A and B are shown apart, each in its own frame.
Chain A
Amino acid sequence: GAVVSQHPSWVICKSGTSVKIECRSLDFQATTMFWYRQFPKQSLMLMATSNEGSKATYEQGVEKDKFLINHASLTLSTLTVTSAHPEDSSFYICSARIRAHEQYFGPGTRLTVT
């Protein structure tokens, strides 16, 4: 299958700082990428859909000013958690879609805010 990478794989930051997470499709171009959040022992919740060259579409309840998404190229989308707080600590997973029934996930980024 296709390969999606994420960087960093884990990050610890202090409350009030911002953290950027990168998601790259390594061997294909992705016009659409998705960002999910997963709390321990829970399911994946879609945060936003990122489209190359346009604004991201956020799910209801997700603060767009807090979770900034940029999809500057066909192989890179970034999620920036601004002014992070301990409640933002979570596992963030990106995903890229090749075709309607082929969606591949990155390995995830574990964010801990102290």
Chain B
Amino acid sequence: AQKITQTQPGMFVQEKEAVTLDCTYDTSDQSYGLFWYKQPSSGEMIFLIYQGSYDEQNATEGRYSLNFQKARKSANLVISASQLGDSAMYFCAMREWTGTASKLTFGTGTRLQVTL
């Protein structure tokens, strides 16, 4: 079963508008972490934002905010005031612990295109 599901293969948004990228996850653990990464065409993975499962407040980092709904197991990324440079692939990821080790599992990604 998919651990991380991103149902939007591609999204368009106009410059200066806000956009929400969906992410749902599946885990039976109580302690986990959720991440969003941006991957521009250059290929590098850029960390955007993190939400811990015990964090009560939604994470925010500048124009990025994470809409964390624990009961629904969703962790949507909201980008406000979109810029042309935001055009990229966006990956949602979850960290789970297996014993003393942990690993990051990625969703299939959403390609965001910001238009004029």
Interface residues of A (CB under 8 A from B): 1, 34, 42-46, 49, 57, 91, 93, 95, 100-108, 110
Contact = CB atoms under 8 A, between A and B. Distances in A.
A44 B105 CA distance: 8
Interface residues of B, number: 22
Q: Which 3 A-B pairs have the closest CB atoms?
A: A105-B45, A108-B43, A107-B44
A105 B45 CA distance: 6
B36 interface: no
B106 A49 contact: no
A110 B4 CA distance: 25
B64 interface: no
Contacts of B12: none
B68 interface: no
A45 B80 CA distance: 29
A34 B93 CA distance: 14
Nearest to B93: A44
